[in-house]
Amino acid sequence: MNTDRQPLIQLEGIIKRYKNLTAVNGVNLAVYPGEKLVIIGPSGSGKSTLLRSMNFLEEIDAGVIRFEGREAGYVHRHGRLHLDRQQVVCPLRAEIGMVFQHFHLFPHMTVLGNVMEGPLTVQKKPVPEARAIAYDMLAKVGLSDKRDVFPATLSGGQKQRVAIARALAMRPKLMLFDEPTSALDPELVGEVFDTIHALADEGMTMIIVTHHMGFARELADRVIFMDGGVFVAEGTPQEIFDERMQNERIRTFLSRII
Amino acid sequence: MQKTFSRVATALLFLWMAAAVVFGAAADPDRLTRQANELMGQGDLAGAVEVLKQIPPPAGGGEGEAFVRSRLQIARLHFSLGEMDKALAAAREVLALYPDNSEAKNFVASVEQEGQPRYVTFLKDCIRFLPALAKGAVMTLLLVLCTIVISPIGGLLIALGRLSTFRPISAACWFVIWFFRGTPLLLQLFFIYYGLPSLGITLSPLTAAVIGLGVNYSAYLGEIIRGGIQSIEHGQMEAAKALGMTYGQAMRRVIIPQTYKRLMPPIGNEFIALIKDTALVSTIAMVELMRAADQLFNTYFNVTALVLAAIVYLVFTTVFTFIFEKIEYRAGIYEHR
């Protein structure tokens, strides 16, 4: 698929070990511009770790990460892989937006302040420009009226939409969503889902780790089922969901989720 | 019989006085003083007064030490006999010649206060002590403010140093905390003021005091600030990094601002302790509030000076408590719905 184009991000043989657990065990993955990839799998299957390693929040033990075709973020020292200096890593992260399960909004800044923070501090944009970007992004997630409040006053769904706006304000090439709806009350999932859906329709490249099967069915070009640190199955939503009886593990997992 | 005895005594006295005049012994203050002391030892206070009165004023404004001592002694003797007017007269004899004699002045002041209502005495003492105490209080305040400016900066550096992954820096900061929290502040002040000169570094008392307090409180605040930084949820650092921030940017923009509210109560505590700890610098020749009160106490043997000092300390700590409550509220304003 898409072999004529260069992958936006490409992982080769990614291995991440914790003390006595191999969370990610030799994963290969290529994500192309505009693609919407959903990773599903049981808890502890390594999907979050994999996602976080794409943003260099997890330091991998082996493997290569290529961003826009170039090897990115690591140096070899004493025969081991080390995360590169922050002068190298930070600009890479600035091109990749990340949305966390628990939002992690900056509680001491207003909603507007949260969204302006990236352009202002990281991209060193002047205040009027950063503010204009933030206004746009808050309008996009439908929270223009909440600009001047502090995050503590928002609902979970609103917080997550602000977090999405905050990431989008950096004009990222790739958006990573780490279980974006898992911490939300069921009635609030819809608004966040709609926001992500709208973003997908704009052509944003995104990788979503989720337990929410609606994402996979409605959004995904491709679904990966991960378990035990490896990809167990990979395919279109139809292939994964309709032919799930093919694989015992997928069947068990999906029967628990759905 | 009694008459005879008194006649004999009078005659002897005259004879003795005549002899004294002849031999110039009347002008020998030492002998008279000894004689008065003997009479006092026998309980004859009035007699002692009579003898002491023979010590003349210094001729031509010469050395009048003996005269002053004798008149003050007379004043005290009258005082203990309950003869206030005579006591005052004796003290004023001194003041007539030496208007600046502080002992006589104090004596007059304290005798005049006898019989006044206690609160009047207290208020008069307050007015008397206030200038000296105010000077001391200003010095105490200066020390406190200097330390309040220095120690959070030092504390932040120590905290960041402790959190550094570069071992030599974190070890050095650990050592600073270990040493300055593990030894008495008094000892540190002594070392800086009395010990450093032997290494060729001589500091003024004020400099030594500010350095001692500043370093000591930096060490304490360092641990408090480190705790504050580590108490911020890990996700905040991750979110900041995910935006592309460097460690420094994340600290400055995201992590440290969130510690303010949490740090205010423990830091307020430290600064209250600091206000009282400044009293320790009185030991290295600094005249601050405690030293000023102590000096007044020793001069006048008057507890009012200490009471006043206690009140000033309480005013300081109360005002600081109040200010810190306000700052804490403002620092956490984003948490109030």
Tell me which of A138-152, A235-249, B128-142 is least confident. A235-249
Same domain for B124 and B111? no
Q: Among B261, B334, B336, B337, which would you mutate to test the A interface (most chain A Cβ atoms within 10 Å of its Cβ)? A: B334
Phi, psi for A170 (deg, rounded to 5): -85, 0
Count how many domains chain B has.
2
Q: What proportion of chain A, given as a percentage, has pLDDT over 70?
A: 96
**CATH number, residue B228:** 1.10.3720.10
The ipTM, to two decimals, is 0.92
Evaluate whether A219 touches A36 at the Cβ level (below 8 Å).
yes
Whether residues B139 and B240 fall in one domain:
yes
Q: How confident is the model at residue B25 (pLDDT cuts 50, 70, 90)?
A: very low
pLDDT in tens, A40-69: 988 889 999 999 999 999 999 999 999 998
Q: Which residue has the higher pLDDT, A180 or A252?
A: A180
Q: Give the highest mean pLDDT range of A78-87, B91-100, B182-191.
A: B182-191
Tracing tokens 């307020």 back to the chain, one arrives at B268
- In the predicted model, is pLDDT for residue B5 greater than 90? no
What is the residue-averaged pLDDT of chain A? Answer: 91
- At residue B313, the pLDDT reads 95
Reported as a single tens digit per residue, the pLDDT across B57-78 is 877 656 678 888 888 888 888 8
Cβ separation of B244 and A170 shorter than 8 Å? Answer: yes
Question: Is residue A115 in a domain?
Answer: yes
- Domain extent, residue A147, equals 105-172
Domain boundary among B115, B133, B162: B115
Query: Across-strand partners of A96?
Result: A174
Taking contacts as CB-CB distances below 8 angstroms, the residues of chain B near A97 are: 242
Which strand (E) or helix (H) includes residue B92?
Answer: helix B84-97
Residue A29 has pLDDT above 50, yes or no: yes
pLDDT number for residue A20: 86
Give yes or no for a contact between A25 and A15, defined as CB atoms under 8 angstroms apart. Answer: yes
Q: Which residues of A touch B242 (CB under 8 A)?
A: 55, 57, 93, 96-98, 100, 167
B244 φψ region: left (φ > 0), alpha (ψ -120 to 50), beta (else): left
pLDDT, tens digit, 9 for 90 and up, residues A167-181: 999 999 999 999 999
Give residue-wise pLDDT tens across range A217-236.
888 999 999 998 999 888 88
Say yes or no to pLDDT of A140 above 60.
yes
| Mean pLDDT score, B260-289 | 91
Distance CA A27, CA B85 (A): 107
Name the residue range of residue B322's domain. Answer: 120-335
Q: Does A41 reside within a domain? A: no
Task: Taking each helix axis as running N to C, give the angle between helix B118-163 and helix B256-277, from 0 to 180 degrees, rounded to the nearest 10.
Answer: 140
Q: What's the pLDDT score for residue B153?
A: 96
Does the distance separating the beta carbons of A153 and B258 come in below 8 Å?
no
B122-126, B258-262, B279-283: segment of lowest average pLDDT: B122-126
Residues B65 and B148 in one domain: no
Count of other CB atoms within 10 angstroms of residue A192? 24
Across the interface, of A98, A104, A118, the residue whose CB is closest to B236 is A104
| Residue A136 resides in a domain | yes
**In a shared domain, residues B163 and B290:** yes
Q: State whether B54 and B142 are in the same domain.
A: no
**Would you state the structure tokens that stand for residue B77, as one six-digit string?**
């003797």
Tokens (6 digits) for A1: 């698929």
Give the Cα separation of B177 and B224 in Å (integer): 11
Kindly give, in sequence order, each residue whose CB lies less than 8 Å from that of residue B279, ignoring residues fewer than 6 positions away: B140, B288, B289, B290
Contact (Cβ atoms closer than 8 angstroms) between residue A24 and residue A16: yes
Q: Which of B125 and B10 is assigned the larger pLDDT?
A: B125
Q: Are residues B75 and B199 in the same domain?
A: no
Is B245 an interface residue toward A (CB < 8 Å)? yes
- Note the pLDDT tens digit of each residue in B163-174: 999 999 999 999
Task: Indicate if B174 and B306 belong to the same structural domain.
Answer: yes
Q: How many domains is chain A built from?
A: 1
Q: Which residues of B200-232 are buried (b: 16+ CB within 10 A; e: fewer)?
A: eeebebbebbbbbbbbbbbbbbbbbbbebbeeb
Spell out which residues of chain A touch residue B235, defining contact as CB-CB under 8 Å: 100, 102, 104
Question: How far is it, in rounded angstroms, from Cα B235 to Cα B243?
Answer: 12
Nearest CA in chain A to B336: A152
Residue A127 lies in a domain: yes
pLDDT at A246: 63
Nearest by CB to B334, from A91, A98, A152: name it. A152
